[in-house]
Amino acid sequence: MGSTGTVLRELRGAQKSAKGVSLYSRYVNRPAGRVLAAGAYRAGLTPNQVTLVSAAFTYAALAAVALVEPSWTLGLAVYAALAVGFAFDSADGQLARLTGRGGPDGEWLDHVVDCGKLLLVHAAVLISFYRFGELPSDAWLLLPLGFQLAAVVTFCAGLLREQLGKAAATAQAATAQASAVPAAPGTPPAPVSRVRAVALLPADYGVFCLVFLLLGAPGAFRAGYAALAVVHTLFLAAFLTKWFRELRALRPG
């Protein structure tokens, strides 16, 4: 395909839509993933191998949170590893679209790694609280469990919304074709909302990772982590309401 510059230009043309994407993912994580995807392409890596690289950075960082006493140095190292892992998580899809080597196996592997990440990040915080935290109350041990619940339900519900929506759209198209009813013309995509992109920042995984920079100040870390837990729970309620209404609108008839 030519030079790295040529690969980067091809990757820019293979980007997913920015709709529903926060400013961090749009202007930080995706561009970083594009550079990593170009490097992976030049190194001859497959998208699945890039997914495993992402998992290695992420899971190593989470193991460190659980096993190493919190400090400013640990916080910086953990954040850096999580941010690089997240960028590689973007790079695998970009590389798949560039090379045409994506498939159900790659999508499955990517989602398995993501699901494991969401479970382990809060489990690691729970273990760190238990082993190293001088907590004001044992009730703080419940916080990572609640945050984990909100994160995993949001992830699974979002996947189901996407898959069930696709299935409903396919069924409607098949019904229209069988009854010789012409399909309704597609509506042009709505413009990307910058207000929505800003509003989604607190729910972005890359923004969440910033809280680990506070590991050297346990009180500040707990406060930041608790604030993010509240925000993610509010986003979960909003997302569930929105997705339920969207799916109900897809009922036949």
138-174 per-position pLDDT tens digit: 999 999 999 999 999 999 999 999 889 888 777 666 6
Per-residue pLDDT, 87: 96
What mean pLDDT is predicted for residues 46-73?
Answer: 97
Q: What is the pLDDT of residues 90-141, one digit of tens each?
A: 999 999 988 888 889 999 999 999 999 999 999 999 999 999 988 999 999 9
Residue 81 CA to residue 68 CA, distance in Å, equals 15
Q: Which of 10-24, 35-49, 70-84, 175-189 has the lowest mean pLDDT?
A: 175-189
Q: Find the DSSP H helices in the chain.
A: 4-12, 23-24, 30-43, 47-67, 72-99, 104-132, 142-178, 194-199, 205-209, 218-248
What single string gives the DSSP state of each residue in 178-217?
A: HTTPPPPPPPPPPPPPHHHHHHTGGG-HHHHHGGGGGTTS
Q: Which are the contacts of 5, defined by CB distance < 8 A and separation ≥ 6?
A: none
Burial class (CB in 10 A: 0-12, 13-18, 19+), 22: buried
**Confidence bin at 13 (pLDDT 50/70/90):** low
Question: With 80 as the cut, is the pLDDT of residue 188 above it?
Answer: no
> Which pLDDT score, from 0 to 100, does residue 187 have?
47
- The single residue listed with the structure tokens 């469990």 is 145
Q: What is the model's pLDDT at position 4?
A: 61
What is the dihedral sign for C-alpha 173, 176, 181, 184? negative
CB neighbourhood size of 174 (10 A) = 10
Q: How far apart are CA 177 and CA 153, in angstroms?
A: 36
Q: Using CA atoms, how far apart are residues 114 and 126, in angstroms rounded to an integer?
A: 19
- ∠ Cα 155 156 158 (to 5°): 65
Average pLDDT of the chain? 87
The answer to whether 226 and 218 are in contact (CB under 8 A) is no
Q: Which residues contact 74 (CB under 8 A, 6 or more apart)?
A: 64, 65, 68, 215, 216
Tell me which residue of 73, 74, 67, 33 sits closest to 53, measured CA to CA. 33
Residue 47: pLDDT band with limits 50, 70, 90: very high
Higher pLDDT, 149 or 16: 149
Query: What tokens were used for 152?
Result: 């995993």
- The pLDDT, as a whole number, for residue 68 is 97
pLDDT value of residue 79: 98
Average pLDDT estimate for 73-87: 97
What's the pLDDT tens digit per position in 92-102? 999 998 888 88
Q: Which residue has the tokens 């919190």?
A: 70
Coil, strand, or helix at residue 67?
helix
- Span 66-74, average pLDDT: 97
Predicted confidence at residue 191, as pLDDT, reads 57
- Spatial distance between the Cα atoms of 148 and 144, rounded to a whole number of angstroms: 6
